[in-house]
């Protein structure tokens, strides 16, 4: 049995690469594991040799101490790997397959899964609907920022790449299929982006840049990306986006300078609950700012996609209401404008196969657009630190040195 090393959360602002247990086809007790999941048998799972695993902005919320994540949690939910062992009930996935793993863990059997709502599977997290690898309050499934990881319900969950050699040539792009590319695409689809749309995307981090990439893929006429970080805005401009520096003031006024009116057809919140204010409040946390802004700048009858993360437990919030996810949003404004809102985890399986085909057939360059940057697993703590400072990069961890 090989050794296994992984990125482990060790308290606010602190991650370490440590020796951890090799994956098994049974859920073991450990940090964050729901007691009702301990001992659960997983004959439907596979063990992967991890080829690529990404650092996500959602991971950063935990590492900043802004969730109730326990110390000792193995991180990582963006996983691409090679199957090296299959459980006895696995029928269609074979040893040697190179696969993408949706960050949502889904059983494929419950009502929600059968309706395509794989982000809120009812059978994988005893606490509530929905689960993910290496994430707080998601059932305690071991994360994939590691050398090896176990994936349950493998016949249902994994997406096999049709040609292994072709996939390795495009592995940086394909590594985005586990989360950020489908998540950005979901934000745009649920916001109603279509050919000719004008689109406002709040946040030029990796998900925001993936959303911008998705908006172009869907035929948007104008894609406006807003952020506070100049390097991130420059990255957005590198592939044709218009940009807004919200530290300079009201986004509506800047939108009017771009499209001739202070509104867009649809908007995407790719920031989430650690949002800051605009203009003079750009250095002050204002968790409802982005939600209120997207309602303000979206035309009446338009749509808002909200892939940005909002939580029910934020110990670092500025007030008691925000600590439990209660924010001062202008719902009346959204109601008066007949806006549609879509929240929650992206159901990755709804999109990943189509986006895979777009990558394999050179219809998109998502890795270039998000500035994908490969680093060894041992450099994960440095990657987290740089990403937290606003680096305009999407870090891909390379546990086995397979990415060159």
pLDDT in tens, 330-352: 999 999 999 999 999 999 999 99
At the fourth CATH level, which superfamily is domain 180-343? NAD(P)-binding Rossmann-like Domain (3.40.50.720)
**Can you tell me the distance from the alpha carbon of 207 to that of 270, in angstroms, rounded to the nearest whole number?**
6
pLDDT band at residue 287 under the 50/70/90 scheme: confident
Q: Please report where in the chains the tokens 């997207």 appear, as a residue.
A: 294
From the centroid of its chain, how far is CA 231? Answer: 20
Degrees (nearest 5) of the Cα angle 361, 80, 351?
50
What is the value of pTM for the model shown? 0.95
Q: What is the mean pLDDT of the chain?
A: 94
Alpha-helix residue ranges (DSSP H) falling in 98-202: 111-114, 154-157, 164-169, 171-174, 180-191
pLDDT of residue 249: 86
Helix (H, G, I), strand (E, B) or coil at 160: strand
pLDDT of residue 280: 72
The domain locations on the chain are: 4-179+347-398, 180-343
pLDDT of residue 183: 97
What is the C-alpha radius of gyration for the chain, rounded to an integer number of angstroms? 20
* CB burial readout 263-284, b (16+ within 10 A) else e: bbbbbbbbbbbbbbbbeeebee
pLDDT of residue 319: 79
pLDDT at 6 over 70: yes
**CATH assignment of 4-179+347-398?**
3.90.180.10
**Can you tell me the distance from the alpha carbon of 57 to that of 49, in angstroms, rounded to the nearest whole number?**
23
Given this chain, do its domains 4-179+347-398 and 180-343 carry the same CATH topology? no
Note the pLDDT tens digit of each residue in 60-101. 989 988 888 999 999 999 999 999 999 999 999 999 999 999
């Amino acid at each position: 049995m090989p050794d296994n090393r992984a990125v482990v959360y060790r308290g606010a602002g602190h991650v370490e690469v440590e020796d951890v247990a090799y994956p098994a086809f049974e859920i073991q007790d450990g940090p964050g594991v729901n007691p009702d999941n301990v001992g659960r048998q997983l004959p439907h799972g596979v063990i992967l040799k991890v080829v690529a695993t990404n650092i996500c902005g959602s991971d950063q919320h935990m590492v900043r101490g802004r969730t109730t994540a326990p110390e000792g949690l193995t991180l990582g939910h963006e996983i691409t790997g090679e199957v090296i062992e299959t459980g006895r009930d696995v029928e269609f996935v074979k040893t040697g397959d190179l696969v993408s793993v949706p960050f949502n863990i889904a059983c494929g059997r419950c009502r929600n899964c059968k309706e395509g709502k794989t982000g809120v599977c009812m059978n994988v997290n005893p606490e509530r609907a929905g689960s993910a690898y290496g994430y707080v309050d998601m059932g305690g499934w071991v994360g994939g920022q590691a050398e090896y990881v176990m994936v349950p319900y493998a016949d249902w969950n994994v997406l096999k790449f049709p040609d292994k050699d072709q996939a390795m040539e495009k592995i940086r792009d394909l590594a985005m299929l586990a989360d950020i590319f489908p998540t950005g695409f979901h934000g745009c689809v649920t916001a109603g982006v279509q050919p000719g749309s004008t689109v406002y995307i709040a946040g030029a981090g990796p998900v925001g840049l993936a959303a911008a990439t998705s908006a172009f893929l869907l035929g948007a006429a104008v894609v406006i990306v807003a952020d506070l970080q100049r390097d991130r805005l420059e990255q957005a401009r590198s592939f044709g986006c218009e940009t807004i520096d919200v530290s300079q003031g009201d986004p509506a006024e800047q939108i009017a300078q771009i499209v001739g009116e202070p509104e867009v057809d649809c908007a995407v919140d790719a920031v989430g609950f650690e949002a800051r204010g605009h203009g003079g409040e750009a250095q002050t946390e204002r968790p409802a700012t982005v939600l209120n802004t997207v309602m303000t700048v979206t035309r009446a009858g338009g749509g808002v996609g909200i892939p940005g993360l909002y939580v029910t437990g934020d110990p670092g919030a500025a007030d008691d209401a925000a600590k439990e996810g209660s924010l001062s949003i202008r719902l009346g404004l959204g109601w008066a404008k007949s806006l549609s809102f879509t929240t929650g985890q992206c159901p990755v399986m709804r999109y990943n196969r189509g986006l895979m085909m777009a990558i394999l057939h050179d219809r998109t360059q998502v890795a270039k657009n998000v500035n994908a940057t490969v680093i060894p697993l041992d450099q994960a703590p440095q990657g987290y630190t740089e990403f937290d400072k606003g680096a305009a990069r999407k870090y891909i961890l390379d546990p086995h040195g397979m990415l060159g």
